[in-house]
Amino acid sequence: KTKPTQHSVGKLREIGLQAEVLICRTEKPFSESVREKIAQFCNVEPEAVIQALDVEDIYEVPLMFTKQKLDDTILKLLGLERPSHDLTEWKTRVVDRALHPKRRVAIAVVGKYVQLQDAYKSIYEA
């Protein structure tokens, strides 16, 4: 659905802001035609419409954005040259370790409201 995105960008325009990059949260990849529709109705370049897909681990996000050339888009908008970069080490040292840990670690949580189930929910889920 593109209407919520169009509505949000319209609200930005109402307060005098023009988006140059849109990062769209989505559970499933959207088609190139959807990307172009969002770009057209929100007045941005198609390559500036980025999909923020659900990932298994938050450390995968930089790889996902790099694959869609978000870094190139931002550098172009800022008029900066691209420094050399290689995310291979990031993938092997951070992402792969997070997704495939070698051992399990026990962590104790001490807090004032531990009896409340949702008080430390984000810690338990992490």
For 67-76, how does the pLDDT look when each residue is reduced to its tens digit (9 = 90+)?
Answer: 999 999 999 9
pTM of the model: 0.75
Closest by CA to 109, choosing from 101, 98, 120, is 120
What confidence tens digit (pLDDT) does each residue in 86-103 have?
888 889 889 998 889 899
Interatomic CA distance for residues 58 and 98, integer angstroms: 9
Q: What was the pLDDT predicted at 62? A: 94
Interatomic CA distance for residues 48 and 78, integer angstroms: 13
Q: Quick check: is 112 in a domain?
A: no
Q: Quick check: is 111 in a domain?
A: no
pLDDT top residue among 46 and 119: 46
Closest by CA to 35, choosing from 61, 62, 73, is 73
Q: What is the CATH number of the domain that holds 70?
A: 3.40.50.300
Q: Quick check: is 88 in a domain?
A: yes
What confidence tens digit (pLDDT) does each residue in 2-49 have?
898 999 999 999 999 999 999 999 999 999 999 999 999 999 999 999
